[in-house]
Structure 1
Amino acid sequence: MSNRLVCLCNMVSEQEIINELKKGAVDASDIQYATRAGTSCGKCLMTIDQIIEEHQLVQAQNPQGKLDL
């Protein structure tokens, strides 16, 4: 996990996206709504999808994980 910028247009970091996933976001549209990442030029949507996929894999390996509210 890093604090790299994923969405340069809206200055959204990877950590911000992960935080939203931990709160219950499940897809790119949830991330877009919560952070505005991917709503300008859209170049970061593939990266957002990768972050979501990685997060879902970690959650599948740890089914006892809790939502961070």
Structure 2
Amino acid sequence: MSNRLVCICNMVSEQEIINELKKGALDATDIQYATRAGTSCGKCLMTIDQIIEEYQATQPQDQQGKLNF
């Protein structure tokens, strides 16, 4: 994780996005609502999606949600 600026228009850093993911944000829409990142010009949306994918890949999978028949 770094403190690089992801959304220049709204001055949102990667760390701010990670913090929102830790609070429960699930997708780019949640990030946009919480931080306004990606709501102006939209050029950072692909980067936001990449950050979300990388973060979710590092999280343990919820085994409760899986049903074995």
Q: What's the TM-score once normalised by structure 1's chain length?
A: 0.87
Q: Which 5+ residue runs of structure 1 have no aligned equivalent?
A: 65-69
Structure 1 ranges of 4+ moved more than 3 A:
none
Q: CA deviation at 1:63?
A: 4.5
Q: Take 1:53 and 1:5, find their aligned partners in 2: how far apart are those partners?
A: 18
Larger Rg: 2
Structure 2, unpaired ranges of 5+: 63-69
Q: Which letter maps to 2:52?
A: I
* TM-score, normalised relative to structure 2: 0.87
Q: Secondary structure at the match of 2:6?
A: strand
Count, aligned residues: 62
Aligned to 2:3: 3
> 1:37 offset after TM fit, Å?
0.0
Alignment match, 2:24: 24
RMSD of aligned alpha carbons:
1.1
Identity %: 85
Partner of 1:67: none
What SS does the aligned partner of 1:6 have? strand
Higher relative contact order (Cα pairs below 8 Å, separated by 6+ residues): 1
